[in-house]
Amino acid sequence: MPQANPAQSATQWDAEGHLEVLTFNLGEETFALEATLVREILDLLPETRVPGAAPLLGSVVNFRGKIIPIADLRLAFAMPAAEATLDSRIVVIETETEGETFQIGIRTDKVHEVATLSRDASEEPPAVGMRWRRDFVRELVRRDDGVVVLPDLAAIFRSLTGGADAAAGPSSTLH
């Protein structure tokens, strides 16, 4: 199975410089993830909070008998938390880190069609002037209707497991 590997954080454009992606909205922004990563798009499921986990990965759901975490990417892109709407969906993707394959659900405000992005219209994130952490963004791709953000999931998840502040363990709540 061809699979873009976000751990390497390199976008796998094909020979023609194209990339099939699923686009979705978080707040006002449009994001995109490689279509090859997407396993399923679900209506919202009852979520179970995981005390002590990073807020960005603060809950889990039962996805066909597997326990998978739900990621709220809003928190990685400095957006306020928002109530679910009728359009809210969970995009289940399969990815890998350090050789381990796992599934994760991404909470989105609205899912759009599968689209083809073009490398010619893509830019690296600017070094300054962006309100987001630069390493969380792989590419910005211009389209007629605005800019599409290709997030760097591996970098986002790494920041959680690596950063002591992000993963507040239960001991820190004991004092």
Partner 1 sequence: MSLQDPVAAFRIEAGELLDQIEQGLLDLGHRLDDRDLVDEVFRGLHTLKGSGAMFGFDALAEFTHHCETAFDRVRKGLAPATQELVAVILSARDHMRALIEGNGSGLEATGAAILAELQAAIDGASDSPPAVEPAGAVPVVPVAAAGSGSGWRLSFRLPADAMANGTNPLMLLDELRELGECRIVARTDKVPPLADLVPTECHIGWDVELRGDISRADIDDVFIFVMDDMELSVTPLEVAADDVPGAAPVAGADGSAAVQGVAPPVLAAIDSAAPGKSPAATPSAAPKSGESVRVPAERLDELMDRVGELVIVQSRLSQLASGQASASGNELALRSISEEIERLAGELRDTMMVLRMVPVASLFSRFRRLVHDLARETGKTIALSTEGETTEVDKTMIERLADPMVHLIRNACDHGLETPQDRLAAGKPAAGQVHLSAHQAGGEVLITIRDDGRGIDRERVRAKAEVQGLIQPDQAISDHDLLQMIFHPGFSTAAQVTNLSGRGVGMDVVKRTIESLRGTIDVTSKPGEGSTVVLRIPLTLAIIDGLLVRVGEGRYVIPLGAVEECLELSLEEHLRSRGRSFITLRDRLVPFLRLREIFDTGTRPDPHQKIVVIATGAERVGLVVDQIIGSHQTVIKSMSPLHRDVATFAGATILGDGGVALILDVVQLVTLGQHQEERLRAAG
Identify whether the C-beta of residue 145 lies closer than 8 Å to the C-beta of residue 26: no
Q: Per rule CB under 8 A, is residue 100 in the interface with partner 1?
A: yes
Identify whether the C-beta of residue 127 lies closer than 8 Å to the C-beta of residue 134: yes
Q: Per rule CB under 8 A, is residue 9 in the interface with partner 1?
A: no
Closest distance of CB 13 from partner 1, Å: 27
- The residue from 27, 102, 114, 130 that contacts partner 1 (CB under 8 A) is 102
Q: Per rule CB under 8 A, is residue 73 in the interface with partner 1?
A: no
Q: Per rule CB under 8 A, is residue 3 in the interface with partner 1?
A: no
Alpha carbons 127 and 160: distance in angstroms, whole number: 22
Whichever of 1 and 15 has its CB closer to partner 1, that residue is 1
Q: Per rule CB under 8 A, is residue 79 in the interface with partner 1?
A: no
| Residue span 32-61 as binding mask against partner 1, x where in contact by CB under 8 A, dash where not | --------------x-xxxxxx---x--xx
Closest distance of CB 49 from partner 1, Å: 6
Binding-site ranges for partner 1 (CB under 8 A):
46, 48-53, 57, 60-62, 65-69, 97, 100, 102-104, 157, 160-161, 167, 169-171, 173-174
